[in-house]
Amino acid sequence: MSCIGLLMKKFIGIKFSLIENSIIDHKEKPKYKFSYLDSLLLANYMNGSLYEKYGKHDPDFVPLHLMLRINLSVDNIDLIKHSMTNNIYAYWTNGCSEERHFVVDENVVINISLNVDKKEIWIKYTDKPTIRTKFEFT
C-alpha cells in the first residue's frame, strides 16, 4: 500500500472513531458518518472520471482535488474551475445531510444519498435515471 493509502486509512479510522465514540445521538451517527466519510470517499473516487467527462474538453478548466485540501465547513467542495475567471464550474455540495450532489454549471448531475432505514447508499445520475449503483451496509 502506498504512503497516501496508509495515511487515508489512518485518517478514515480516526474520523470513524470520532463519530462512533462521540455523544452524538445513536440515530444521528449514520448521517454524520455518511456526510463526513462515506459520501466523501465515493465522491473522491469518482472525481477523476468526472473531470474527464465534464472538464477535460475545455483547456480553460482546471481540476481541483477533493482530498488534498478540504474544509468541511464550506457549503461546496469545488472540483472544476475556469482558469481565466476563477468561477467554479463543477462542485460537490457539502453539509451534514443524507444527500450529496455533484453540480455542473448549476445543474445537479449526480445524487449520492443515504437511506438509513433500508441500510443503503445510492449513487444516481439525474440525467440518466437508469444508471444507478446501490451499496448496502450493516
Give, for all 138 residues of the chain, the pLDDT tens digit.
444 444 444 444 555 566 677 777 888 888 888 887 788 888 888 888 888 888 878 888 888 765 555 677 788 888 899 988 989 999 999 888 999 999 999 999 999 999 989 989 999 998 887 777 888 876
DSSP 3-state of 105 = coil
Strands 61-63 and 76-82: antiparallel
3: Cβ contacts below 8 Å, ≥ 6 apart: none
CA distances from 101 to 10, 77, 91 (A): 26, 10, 8
Domain ranges of the chain: 3-136
